[in-house]
Amino acid sequence: MEQNQLVAKNAPMGLDLMYELPDLSKAKAAAIELTGEYWTPEKEGEVKRLFFNEIRQELTIDFASGADVELSVAYFVEVKDGDKRVIRQASKRLVGALEMLKTPSGMPLEITYTGKKKNKTNSFMSDSWSIKPLFLDGQVKNENVIKETIGFDAGAPDGDHSTTVHVNAQTGEIIEQSKTPGF
């Protein structure tokens, strides 16, 4: 027993190499690359339509100190021409907004990079984002239903805030809109 535990502890991914492993030559690869691509917007107004997946804590190196630091990273899935790929983004404002809104996994979003904005609490500039939920065909069962959506405009000119919008699902007309100060 002790020898098996030692092999499993030192084996890659915790595999117990004392037992036979299946032949992977006939296994099918998933239709999605798991490592993902980091999205670094190149210009203000860049838009991505993505499915939110999750927020993970990852270790990275602080370039100033060289120390390991934990970083919150948002993971999304982008579907283009039938191909799926993982997209990652770690902007504190974007991740913070997704956390604050308690964004559920699988929610379709339109995320727009709105440029760099001056922080209120210091002299630095931070990435700013607009996050809007997307509604797919068939999601609204009754055309007269009023949808309530919550968006977060991080770095908005009038200050960070969340916005609650009541929309007529049939016409798309905004019936009521209110802002709540964010973080």
Nearest-angstrom CA–CA distance, 98 and 91:
11
**Contact assessment for residue 95 and residue 72, using Cβ atoms and an 8 Å cutoff:** yes
Structure tokens given for 72? 């919150």
Tell me: the pLDDT tens digits for 93-109?
A: 999 999 998 899 999 99
Provide mean pLDDT across the span 168-183.
53
Q: What are phi and psi of 142, to 5 degrees?
A: -110, 120
Contact 89, 38 (CB under 8 A): yes
Q: What is the pLDDT of residues 122-159, one digit of tens each?
A: 888 889 999 999 887 766 444 443 444 444 444 444 55
- Which position has the token pair 């203000």? 44
Give pLDDT tens digits for 49-103: 999 999 999 998 988 898 999 999 999 999 988 888 999 999 999 999 999 988 9
pLDDT of residue 70: 94
Q: Examine the pLDDT at 110 and tell me if it is beyond 90.
A: yes
